[in-house]
A and B are shown apart, each in its own frame.
Chain A
Amino acid sequence: MEFEEMQAIWDSQNEEKLYAINEAALHEQIRRKGRSVERKVDILEGIMMGVNLLVAIVLTVDAVIDGEPLRFYLIPAAYFAYFIVGLVWRMRRSRAQVQFEPTMVGDLDKAIWQIDYLIRQTRAMLIWYLIPLLVFIILVLGWGNGSLWAALLALVVIPLAYFGGRWEVNKFYLPKKRSLESLRATLLEAETM
């Protein structure tokens, strides 16, 4: 059989009659799951930024009311800095999203970029969020403020969150990124020939 004959066989099929779509169930599924990954990331980022800003304001007001010394403004300042960093990241992400071509390579680049973004965000949170928080807790303990039990709990939870985050990156994000990169390499395999 020659390729042209195969094409004629292919053209003769009528796939439209092969399946029936349950439209009501499909619409219900779309309604439940139709929110894109970008929108979910948008919402999560919004929540994180909102929490950081709220904590910064509450701690600042608290320190002002109690007439605390200047060192007690360090923690709210850090939370405000996290809020600003979140804002900058969000703006950079929105700009980068526009750059992907509407092709399969572009779709792969976008998927790889999204994974990279999650990896960067998780790693940054581990380094710039959890570690400073641990240091602040130790400092607050050193200044003789705060509950010892709450501090001990934080000293257990923060390292757990740190190693959990690293595990998440190594177990899920990095293998996914590598397999997407391998798919991209297969698609582009003959580009240099």
Chain B
Amino acid sequence: MSADEQKRIFDGWIDQHKGIIFKIVRAYAFTPDDQDDLFQEIALQVWQSIPDFRGDAQASTWIYRVALFTATNRVRREKRRPPTQWLGTVEHMLTARDVRQDDQVAWLYEQIALLSPIDRSVCLLLLDGFSYKEIAALLGISESNVGVKIHRVKQHLLHRSREVSNHGV
């Protein structure tokens, strides 16, 4: 694959599917610097994955997988090593726009952030309407295993939602 072709595919993917990457960035990184770092890392992994893409899956599913793996892997790394502080000026790739964020969406992201990195992946896929079968195929695990994880995720979200209702928030 030529570099030009790779760049053309990359630009098209980022343009069409940036929403997927933004959701994952927001679910796995919580400060502007971390979100910028994670976005860069995902973009790089997406770029490197392009020559392996055979078109067997949809591009959106492929990007979802690459981005979730990168985000999960980053959380794993940061458990072992505290994040490094930036020294000097760094050029940011991702800038938060001054858009009013829905409180309920923000609450949902807060609850997702409380899940383990793997359950977070399952939760994002579930909320984005992926079926059990699709989640199983994307993660490479059995549908019954997906069922166990989805049950746990739903229990967590419903429990937190009841807590909020009971406290009149």
Identity of the chain B residue whose Cβ is nearest the Cβ of A34 in the assembled complex: B47
Within 8 A of B (CB), among A1-45: 1-3, 6-7, 9-10, 12-22, 25-27, 29-30, 33-34, 36
CB-defined contacts of A179 to chain B, threshold 8 Å: 76-77, 79-80
- Taking CB atoms and an 8 Å cut-off, the chain B residues in 140-169 that contact chain A are 140-142, 144-145, 148-149, 154, 157-158, 161, 164-165
A: number of interface residues (CB 8 Å): 47
CA A104 to CA B56, docked complex, whole Å: 16
Complex CA gap A18/B89 in Å reads 23
- Contact between A19 and B96, CB atoms less than 8 A apart: yes
CB-defined contacts of A16 to chain B, threshold 8 Å: 18-19, 22
The minimal Cβ–Cβ distance linking A181 to chain B, given in whole angstroms, is 11
Contact between chains at A101 and B140 (CB < 8 Å): yes
Q: How far is the CB of A36 from chain B (nearest CB, A)?
A: 4
Expressed in whole angstroms, the minimum distance between the Cβ of A193 and any Cβ of chain B is: 7
Instruction: Give Cα distance in the complex from A18 to B95, angstroms.
Output: 8
Question: Which chain B positions have C-beta within 8 A of A157?
Answer: none
Question: What A residues does B105 contact at CB under 8 A?
Answer: 9-10, 12-13
Chain B residue numbers with a CB within 8 Å of A102 are 52, 56-57, 62, 65
A7 adjacent to B47 (CB under 8 Å)? no
Since A13-B105, A22-B95, A103-B138 are in contact, a sample of 10 more A-B pairs with Cβ atoms closer than 8 Å, ordered by chain A residue number, is A2-B158, A7-B127, A20-B94, A26-B93, A102-B65, A103-B137, A104-B140, A179-B76, A190-B149, A191-B142
Which of A's residues lie within 8 Å of B, judged by CB? 1-3, 6-7, 9-10, 12-22, 25-27, 29-30, 33-34, 36, 101-108, 111, 175-176, 179-180, 183, 186-191, 193
Binding site for A on B (CB under 8 A): 7, 10, 14, 18-19, 22-23, 25-26, 35, 39-40, 43-44, 47-48, 52, 56-57, 62, 65-66, 68-69, 72-73, 76-77, 79-80, 91-97, 99, 101-102, 104-105, 108, 116-118, 121, 127-129, 137-142, 144-145, 148-149, 154, 157-158, 161, 164-165
